[in-house]
Amino acid sequence: AQGEGIFLVNTWEDLENKLMIRQYVVQQYMGKPLLLEGLKFDLRLYVLLMVTKQPGNPLRVFLCNEGLGRF
């Protein structure tokens, strides 16, 4: 089940089409997650993707120095 405003995409092209319309939070599902001592964990990283009109450099990526880890 998907909540309100949540959608799934299967290709990068589908994602690009959605991102041109408005801003979103993007997550990737992992079918076989990495486990620590048999338990799942998650890391929350904050990333800004910026599309530019610069030839040869259409995408800029910024990674925040801080994040969150739950173990």
2-44 tens-digit pLDDT: 667 777 788 888 887 877 777 777 777 778 888 999 998 888 8
* Residue 20 to residue 12: CA distance in whole angstroms: 12
* Residue 47 to residue 29: CA distance in whole angstroms: 17
- pLDDT value, residue 2: 60
* Residue 56 to residue 11: CA distance in whole angstroms: 22
Q: Do the Cβ atoms of 70 and 40 come closer than 8 Å?
A: no
CA angle 70, 26, 38 (to 5 degrees): 30
The structure's pTM equals 0.45
- pLDDT value, residue 1: 52
